[in-house]
Structure 1
């Protein structure tokens, strides 16, 4: 039961922070935070989760929208 509550907590934080970040660095930091939380929730490596989340957060918006702020 506590894992379910933690999952909803991570999703709530991720949803709140998803729109944050005007630059790729800010989006990467947000992605790293969410990735680390998700990895901890699923009993995986927090460092790996942070690295993957940061990469997706920093680069993902530029792939889907090349005209986003900070994308070159």
Structure 2
């Protein structure tokens, strides 16, 4: 089996967000939870817990977002 992009789920204080997913995305999320459980040997009781690590991974690997974020966080250099 190919190595999955996310690993074990971090134990972090969550912020509650309500989101609606298309049925196909939910089915894939459940399937991904099953694949992750087989790969790590730890059951994923709530597939929705995968959404945050997936979003984190997506944002961490999005070059355009990373470039924008670096530019937004860097102090502006004053002329003169």
Q: Give the TM-score taking structure 1 as reference length.
A: 0.32
Structure with bigger helix share is: 1
Bigger Rg, structure 1 or 2: 2
TM-score calculated relative to the size of structure 2: 0.31
